[in-house]
Structure 1
Amino acid sequence: MAIIRNSKTIAVLPVFILYISFSSTLVSAVSFKKLPLPAPGPESYAFDSACHGPYTGIADGRIVKYRGPKTGFVDYGFTAPNRSKQFCDGTNNTDLAPICGRPLGLGFYLPKKELYIADASYGLMVIGPNGGAATQLATGAEGVPFRLPDGLEVDQLTGFVYFTDASAVYNLSQVNQLVSNHDATGRLLRYDPKTKQVTVLLEGLSGPSGVAASKDSSYLIVVESVSSRIQKYWLKGPKANTAEVLLNLTGSPDKIKRTARGDFWVAVTVQTPTHALKGVRINEAGTILETLTFSPKYDTSLIVEVNEYKGALYLGSLYPNFVGVYRP
C-alpha cells in the first residue's frame, strides 16, 4: 500500500549497500538498473528456496517471476479466481482490483515452497510450489472482513504467517480517505497453517502497511504509514502479547523487510518540494543505522519496499513498470 497525500502517492523501499559507516549515504554510491515488467506496480518481493527471483505482484493482478536477463519476467500465478488475461493484463487501474486481483505483500514459506500473498481484494492467499491459481485462506478475522490486506511476513521457524489489514473501513481505491480521516482501524494478524485460524494480535493501528519478524521469532516490527511510526510487538518473554512504539519517522513509511544480518530496511517517502525516496535501516532497538536516498535517480514519486537480497537492494513502488535494483 502507498499513502496518498496532496495527490501524490507515498511509499517505502528496500535497499542493500556495503556500508563503511552508519552515516547517511547517497544512492550515487551504488549502481542502478531496471528489470522491465509486463505491467506497473511492483509492490513487494520474494525469493524462493532455490534463490530464484525476484517474484513480485503487479497492478494487473499477476505474480511474476524473474528468469534472468534473457527471459525477463514470466507469469507465475494470480489471485482472482476468474481473472481474464485479455481484460486485465497490463492494467494499472486500482478500481479493477476486485476483478483482476491486486497482490501486495508476498512471502515464501521456504520448506514447503509455498508463496503466501496478501491481496487487497481477495485476502490472505497461497500459491503452491508449481505456481498457478492462488487458494484463498481467509477473508476476515473475528467477524470483521478484511478491507485492505497489505504487509506480509512468513516466519521460517514457526510457519506462522503474519500480515496486516490496513483498514477495516477503506479499500484500495479509497486510500486517500483512509489518510485524510486518519483511520485507525487497521490490524496485525497471524495465520496458523496447522489450525487454519486467523488471530488478531493488535488492532487500532493507523494504516499498518508492513510487518517483519525477528530472526529468533521473539518479536514483530510493524509499520504504521498514517501515523509515521514503527511499533514492536513481543511474541515471547515477559512482554509477550504487548506492543511499544519503537520509532517515529519523518515522512510516510511503508513496507519493512529483515536482512540476513537481522536488522531491518524500511521504505520511506518524504515530501519535499518534490519527493525524497529513502531506505532507512534500523536495529531491534529502533536505532537508525543507515539512511539511503534513492531519488532522483530512482525516477518515481514514491517507494514502498526496500528488500536486501544477496548484495542487492530491490526497490518497490506502485507506478514504475520496472524493478529497480541497486548494487554496490
Structure 2
Amino acid sequence: MDRPAELVPLHYVSLGARGPEDVVADPYGRVLTGVADGRVLRVHHLDDPCTARVEVLARTGGRPLGLELLPDGDLLVCDAIRGLLRVGTDDGSVRVLADSVAGERLRFCSNAVALPDGAVCFTVTSRRYGLDRWAGDIVEHTRTGRLLRLPPEGGEPEVLLEGLQFANGVAASADGSFLLVAETAACRLLRYRLTGPGAGHAEPFADLPGMPDNLWREGPAGPVWVALAAPRLPALGLLHRAPPAVRRGAARAAVRVPYRPGATIGVVAVDDEGRTVHRLIRRRSGFRMVTSVCAAGEHLVLGSLREPGVAVCTRPAAR
C-alpha cells in the first residue's frame, strides 16, 4: 500500500481519568480499557457521545496497560507495577498470575495474549526503566525487552526472547503458529514461531512507518491492528548508534523533560503474510500519542497514554 488514507475522527468520549493506554473490544461492541488511577473500565454506547456510559469493572492497585479478553469473559491485564493479572469482569476480583522471573521483579509488564492451550505470552518492555521513565529506555536503547510465557498450570514464567528494543504489543496469528511482537524502538514487528520449522526463533516480519505500540487482532479472520505512537524519528536512529555513555547521558535528560507528542497520528492493519491492509494517518490531530486501536462495530476506537478519553473514528471499508 503506497499512499495512506485519512484517519477520520467522529467524536471523543471522556472517561473522567487519564491514560486509556490499551483499548480492546468485546463481542458486544463495548470497549475495555485501563487508566492511570488503576481502574479497569468498560465503555458502553461509544457510537453516541451523548449516551456513552463508563462502568468500573475493577481496581488493580497499580497501573493497567495491555489487556486481553479471555474466552470466559475475564480479562488479562499487564500492570506496569503489579505484573501480569487476571481480572474478573463480573466480580472485580484481581489475581496476580506473575510478578517476577527468576527472582527479578517484572518492572514494566506491557501486553499479553492467551494461547489455545491455556498458556499466556506477554511482553516486558524494559528491565531497566519503569513506565514513569519510559522515554529513558527509548533514548538509551537498552534492548532489555522480553517476551515471556506463563504455562497453563501457572508457576514461573519462562523467557522466550530477550534483547528486544522496547518490547510492546503482542498478538497471535490466526492459526496459532506464531506470535507478532512490536519492537517500538525499531519501528517493526517480529514474528516468533511457536510451531513448525523454526519454532522458538524470531525473525523480522514487517517494517512500519512509525513506532508501534499495542496490537489487537480483529477476530480469527481479521487483520492485526497496530497503533503507531509516534512517526519514525531519524535523529533517534542516529542516537542509537552513538556510544553507550552518550546514550545514557541523553536518557538522563529525556526523563527530566516532559514529553510533547507530535500532532501526526496513525494506525496500520497487517495480515498474517505481513501485507499492509490499511494505513491511516491524520495530521494536526488534537488527540495525541495513539497507543492502541480496536474496531468496535462500525468504528475504530483509539486509546492514548496521555489523553483523558478515547477517540472514535470512521472504520475503513474491508479489503
Which TM-score tier does this pair reach, normalised by the shorter chain? 0.7 to 0.9
**Secondary structure of the residue that 1:64 maps to in structure 2?**
strand
CA RMSD of aligned residues (A): 2.1
Pairwise CA distance, 1:249: 2.5
- Paired with 1:41 and 1:320, the residues of 2 have a C-alpha distance of 5
**Secondary structure of the residue that 2:215 maps to in structure 1?**
strand
Q: Within the alignment, does 1:104 sit opposite 2:65 as a pair?
A: yes
Pairing of 1:39-54 with structure 2 (within 5 A): 39-48=17-26, 51=28, 53-54=30-31
Quote the residue 2:297 is aligned against.
Answer: 310
Q: Within the alignment, does 1:229 sit opposite 2:188 as a pair?
A: yes
Quote the residue 2:254 is aligned against.
Answer: none
1:79 corresponds, among 52, 60, 70, to 60
Residues 20 and 310 of structure 2 are in contact (CA less than 8 Å); yes or no, is this contact kept in structure 1? yes
Q: 1:24 corresponds to which letter in structure 2?
A: P
Q: Within the alignment, does 1:267 sit opposite 2:227 as a pair?
A: yes
Residues 12 and 312 of structure 2 are in contact (CA less than 8 Å); yes or no, is this contact kept in structure 1? yes
Q: 1:225 corresponds to which letter in structure 2?
A: T
Pairwise CA distance, 1:161: 1.9
Quote the residue 2:79 is aligned against.
Answer: 119
Specify whether residues 294 and 283 from structure 1 end up closer, same or farther in structure 2 by C-alpha distance, changes over 3 A only: same
User: How many pairs does the alignment contain?
Assistant: 282
Q: 1:42 corresponds to which letter in structure 2?
A: P
Residues 22 and 289 of structure 1 are in contact (CA less than 8 Å); yes or no, is this contact kept in structure 2? no
Q: Within the alignment, does 1:24 sit opposite 2:4 as a pair?
A: yes
**Secondary structure of the residue that 2:20 maps to in structure 1?**
coil
**Secondary structure of the residue that 2:196 maps to in structure 1?**
coil
Quote the residue 1:173 is aligned against.
Answer: 132
Pairing of 1:82-161 with structure 2 (within 5 A): 101-110=62-71, 112-155=72-115, 157-161=116-120
- Paired with 2:76 and 2:262, the residues of 1 have a C-alpha distance of 35
Residues 125 and 136 of structure 1 are in contact (CA less than 8 Å); yes or no, is this contact kept in structure 2? yes
- Paired with 2:215 and 2:306, the residues of 1 have a C-alpha distance of 19
Specify whether residues 132 and 278 from structure 1 end up closer, same or farther in structure 2 by C-alpha distance, changes over 3 A only: same
Quote the residue 2:163 is aligned against.
Answer: 204
What are the ranges of 5 or more consecutive residues in structure 2 without an aligned counterpart?
A: 234-260
1:59 corresponds, among 31, 36, 39, to 36
Specify whether residues 143 and 258 from structure 1 end up closer, same or farther in structure 2 by C-alpha distance, changes over 3 A only: same
Residues 181 and 189 of structure 2 are in contact (CA less than 8 Å); yes or no, is this contact kept in structure 1? yes
Q: 1:35 corresponds to which letter in structure 2?
A: V
- Paired with 2:279 and 2:34, the residues of 1 have a C-alpha distance of 26
Quote the residue 2:253 is aligned against.
Answer: none
Pairwise CA distance, 1:52: 5.3
**Fraction of identical pairs, as percent:** 32
Q: 1:39 corresponds to which letter in structure 2?
A: A
Pairwise CA distance, 1:71: 5.8
TM-score (norm 2): 0.82
- Paired with 1:274 and 1:171, the residues of 2 have a C-alpha distance of 23
Of 163-172 and 275-284, more deviation after overlay is shown by 275-284
Specify whether residues 146 and 301 from structure 1 end up closer, same or farther in structure 2 by C-alpha distance, changes over 3 A only: same
Residues 24 and 216 of structure 2 are in contact (CA less than 8 Å); yes or no, is this contact kept in structure 1? no
